[in-house]
């Protein structure tokens, strides 16, 4: 089965054509073509994503990208219909409706966070890497997923395939947003996550130590919820009126990453204990962060050696259409028929599952 997928939930316009087949209990994916146009440089001027600018750019970019796919056949068209910036999502949804109608194939709506989750469980097939082959197999349920992006921060449990419960989430800002805002306070460019990571790495390499200390919010709350607005405000107040040298900025970035790392290690420990998950996976743009990957890897090997830790390939941690295609393919090949019609809507606050305590 071949799916043409479209992603426009934030500031990346993505189209991908991915084929999959089910072999026993495994799904084998082959990416035929994947294209991505990032608007990050444009939004950098505003220090964040500006929704109407994103919408205009998607409108301009979709036909340009689609030209490269126009002659390639597919069995269905998949599209992100939420969550994300609603004006941006609508561009993808309306475009996908037209393409599906023109091709006379079903239209499959995909939840963006489910796309991050499922694609993060998929593993690269090293035997055939020139063909971009990857597989989804041997996943032991329950799965605990930590989804960390610019708009979301949530702990999700999958007890049965494609059935999700949210057991913890941010009460205010997403962690990616905190990275972006703190980066801005330090005068670093958007998107701030990779910049903070670069600065913090330099500090750790020379064993720097920040004189400014930041709080570890909600560490002892007893729930799997997190909060980052207090951390952001603490960063703002502690930097006010100060002129930091580059080394001091690096040390501050490392202190910020350490605070975020401490929070996620404690909350992940709690989530793993309360769910008895057999697989732990992280997904979303912030899952590219080297320091967080290492801290969580350490937690799993020290305290949960029986849990399998899966990490997404770096090429697909940020928003892209391959993850949307993989999610739609895994669902379709599992008999989850989600086909939508021309009334499909973009839903900015679409959730992946019910929140449970």
* Residue 306 Cβ vs ligand KG4, minimum distance, rounded to whole Å: 28
The smaller minimum CB distance to ligand KG4, of residues 189 and 221, is found at 189
47, 142, 194, 215: which one contacts ligand KG4 (CB under 6 A)?
194
Residue 196: name the closest of 283, 256, 263, 261 by CA.
Answer: 256
What tokens were used for 9? 């939930």
CB 349 within 8 Å of CB 83: yes
Which residues between 284 and 303 bind ligand KG4 (CB under 6 A)?
Answer: 284-286, 288-289
Helix axes 112-121, 322-333, angle to 10 degrees: 80
**194 contact, one of Zn ion, ligand KG4, none, CB 5-8 Å limit per kind:** ligand KG4
305-334 mask for Zn ion (x: CB under 5 A)?
--------------x---------------
3-class state of residue 145 by DSSP: strand
Taking the C-alpha atoms of residue 34 and residue 321, their distance in angstroms, rounded to an integer, is 7
Rg value, the chain, Cα = 20
The smaller minimum CB distance to ligand KG4, of residues 105 and 296, is found at 296
Q: Which residues contact residue 191 at a Cβ distance below 8 angstroms, ignoring those fewer than 6 apart?
A: 40, 150, 176, 179, 180, 183, 285
150-189 mask for Zn ion (x: CB under 5 A)?
----------------------------------------
The smaller minimum CB distance to ligand KG4, of residues 82 and 318, is found at 318
* Residue 262 Cβ vs ligand KG4, minimum distance, rounded to whole Å: 16
* Residue 7 Cβ vs Zn ion, minimum distance, rounded to whole Å: 9
Pairing of strands 26-38, 133-136: antiparallel
The smaller minimum CB distance to ligand KG4, of residues 9 and 31, is found at 9
What tokens were used for 251? 């040390």
Note the maximum CA span of the chain: 62
Q: SS3 helix, strand, coil % of the chain, rounded to 5?
A: 45, 25, 35
Taking the C-alpha atoms of residue 153 and residue 213, their distance in angstroms, rounded to an integer, is 23
Which residues between 129 and 158 bind ligand KG4 (CB under 6 A)?
Answer: 149-151
* Residue 89 Cβ vs Zn ion, minimum distance, rounded to whole Å: 12
Candidates 96-104, 261-269, 281-289, 339-347; binding stretch for ligand KG4 (CB under 6 A): 281-289
Total residues contacting ligand KG4 by CB under 6 A comes to: 19
51, 106, 168, 193: which one contacts ligand KG4 (CB under 6 A)?
193
CB 33 within 8 Å of CB 16: yes
> Which helix (H) or strand (E) segment is 274 a member of?
helix 246-275
Q: How would DSSP label each residue in 68-87?
A: TTTTS--SEEEEEEESS-HH
The smaller minimum CB distance to ligand KG4, of residues 29 and 179, is found at 179
The smaller minimum CB distance to ligand KG4, of residues 111 and 149, is found at 149
Candidates 125-133, 144-152, 167-175, 238-246; binding stretch for Zn ion (CB under 5 A): 144-152
* Residue 317 Cβ vs ligand KG4, minimum distance, rounded to whole Å: 7
* Residue 252 Cβ vs ligand KG4, minimum distance, rounded to whole Å: 15
Residue 169: name the closest of 217, 223, 111, 220 by CA.
Answer: 223
51, 168, 217, 318: which one contacts ligand KG4 (CB under 6 A)?
318
Number of H-type helices and E-type strands within the chain:
10, 13
* Residue 198 Cβ vs ligand KG4, minimum distance, rounded to whole Å: 8
Helix axes 175-185, 192-205, angle to 10 degrees: 70
13, 120, 149, 210: which one contacts Zn ion (CB under 5 A)?
149
Taking the C-alpha atoms of residue 162 and residue 68, their distance in angstroms, rounded to an integer, is 31
Which residues contact Zn ion by CB under 5 A?
A: 149, 319
Which residues contact ligand KG4 by CB under 6 A?
A: 10, 149-151, 176, 179-180, 191-194, 197, 284-286, 288-289, 318-319
């Amino acid at each position: 089965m071949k799916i043409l997928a479209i992603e426009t939930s934030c500031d990346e316009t993505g189209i991908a054509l991915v084929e999959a087949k089910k072999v026993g209990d495994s799904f084998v994916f082959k990416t035929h073509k994947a294209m991505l146009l990032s608007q990050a440089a444009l939004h950098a001027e505003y220090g964040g994503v500006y929704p109407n600018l994103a919408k205009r750019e998607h409108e301009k970019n979709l036909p340009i990208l689609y030209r490269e796919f126009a002659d390639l056949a597919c069995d269905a068209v998949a599209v992100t219909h939420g969550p994300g910036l609603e004006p941006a999502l609508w561009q993808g949804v309306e475009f996908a409706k037209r393409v599906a109608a023109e091709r006379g194939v079903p239209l499959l709506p995909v939840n963006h966070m489910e796309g991050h989750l499922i694609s993060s469980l998929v593993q690269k097939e090293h035997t055939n890497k020139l063909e971009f082959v990857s597989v989804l197999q041997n996943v032991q349920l329950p799965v605990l997923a930590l989804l960390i992006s610019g708009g979301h921060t949530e702990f999700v449990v999958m007890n049965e395939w494609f059935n999700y419960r949210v057991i913890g989430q941010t009460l205010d800002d997403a962690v990616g947003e905190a990275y972006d805002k703190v980066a801005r306070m330090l005068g670093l460019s958007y998107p701030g996550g990779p910049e903070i990571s670069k600065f913090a790495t330099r500090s750790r390499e020379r064993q720097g130590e920040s004189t400014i200390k930041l709080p570890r919010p909600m560490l002892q709350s007893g729930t799997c919820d997190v909060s980052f607005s207090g951390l952001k405000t603490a960063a703002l107040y502690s930097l006010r009126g100060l002129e930091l040298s580059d080394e001091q900025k690096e040390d501050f970035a490392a202190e910020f990453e350490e605070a975020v790392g401490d929070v996620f290690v404690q909350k992940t420990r709690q989530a793993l204990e309360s769910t008895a998950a057999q697989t732990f996976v992280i997904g979303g743009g912030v899952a590219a962060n080297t320091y967080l990957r290492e801290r969580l890897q350490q937690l799993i090997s020290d305290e949960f050696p029986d849990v399998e830790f899966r990490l997404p390939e770096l090429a697909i941690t940020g928003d892209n259409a391959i993850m949307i295609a993989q999610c739609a393919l895994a669902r379709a090949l599992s008999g989850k028929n989600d086909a939508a019609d021309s009334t499909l809507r973009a839903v900015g606050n679409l959730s992946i599952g019910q929140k449970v305590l």
